[in-house]
């Protein structure tokens, strides 16, 4: 599944340019991806789109064509800068220390605000790998930024695209 996601990211740099799943599936098959792998990736991308849509509604400014109930939901989702995210045992087991450490790094760098973190974690928990490899987790983070139309800082992007194994200590 992750190879398909990387292919989509590399070939459709802007999320809006990505074709609909019905049009994307034959293109992925023509490239040589397995049908099951394609279906898993398309399902994962569909669920990412749903999460992104919910995020855009939740973070829209109050009075921007939304009801009072939606505005109060936005206020309820606002995160205090002093809040602390506690990971469940299932999240700790599925993601492992490297992925959770990377989330902390992104948060401390200011690259992953709370609402984006929650989308990343939800999509990571939906990934089939157990425990999730850090390289696969980085793909998930890239795909969340991609789908939301956000471009991370160049240094963060470099960190997301770096495999770490090829680094040479100075």
pLDDT at residue 117, as a whole number? 94
Least confident of 30-34, 77-81, 98-102, 154-158: 77-81
Q: Is 110 left (phi over 0), alpha (psi -120 to 50) or beta?
A: left
pLDDT at residue 66 is higher than 70: no
| Cβ pair 147, 138 in contact under 8 A | no
pLDDT at residue 144 is higher than 80: yes
**Contacts of residue 23, Cβ cutoff 8 Å, sequence gap at least 6:** none
Look up tokens 């790998």; give the residue: 129
**Contacts of residue 32, Cβ cutoff 8 Å, sequence gap at least 6:** none
**Helix 134-148 crosses helix 35-58 at what angle (to 10 degrees)?**
50
pLDDT at residue 120, as a whole number? 96
- Delimit the domains of the chain by residue range: 2-161
Query: Rounded to two decimals, what is the model's pTM?
Result: 0.81
How much of the chain, in percent, has pLDDT values that exceed 70?
A: 78
pLDDT at residue 140 is higher than 90: yes
**Helix 89-108 crosses helix 114-125 at what angle (to 10 degrees)?**
140
- pLDDT tens digits for range 68-89: 554 444 454 566 667 788 999 9
Q: How far is CA 124 from CA 75, 93, 143, in A?
A: 26, 12, 11
pLDDT at residue 99 is higher than 80: yes
Length of the chain (residues):
170
- Average pLDDT (25-49) is 93
pLDDT at residue 51 is higher than 60: yes
């Amino acid at each position: 599944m992750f190879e398909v996601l990387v292919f989509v990211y590399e070939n459709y740099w802007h999320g809006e340019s990505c074709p609909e799943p019905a049009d994307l599936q034959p293109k992925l098959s023509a490239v040589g991806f397995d049908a099951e792998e394609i279906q898993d990736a398309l399902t994962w991308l569909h669920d990412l789109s749903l999460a992104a849509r919910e995020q855009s509604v939740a973070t829209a400014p109050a009075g921007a064509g939304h009801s009072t109930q939606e505005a109060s939901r936005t206020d309820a989702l606002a995160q205090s800068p002093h809040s602390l995210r506690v990971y469940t045992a299932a999240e700790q087991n599925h993601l492992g220390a490297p992925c959770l450490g990377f989330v902390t790094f992104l948060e401390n760098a200011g690259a992953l605000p709370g609402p984006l973190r929650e989308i990343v974690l939800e999509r990571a928990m939906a990934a089939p790998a157990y425990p999730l490899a850090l390289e696969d987790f980085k793909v998930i983070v890239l795909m969340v930024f991609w789908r939301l139309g956000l471009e991370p800082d160049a240094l963060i992007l470099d960190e997301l695209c770096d495999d770490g194994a090829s680094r040479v200590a100075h």
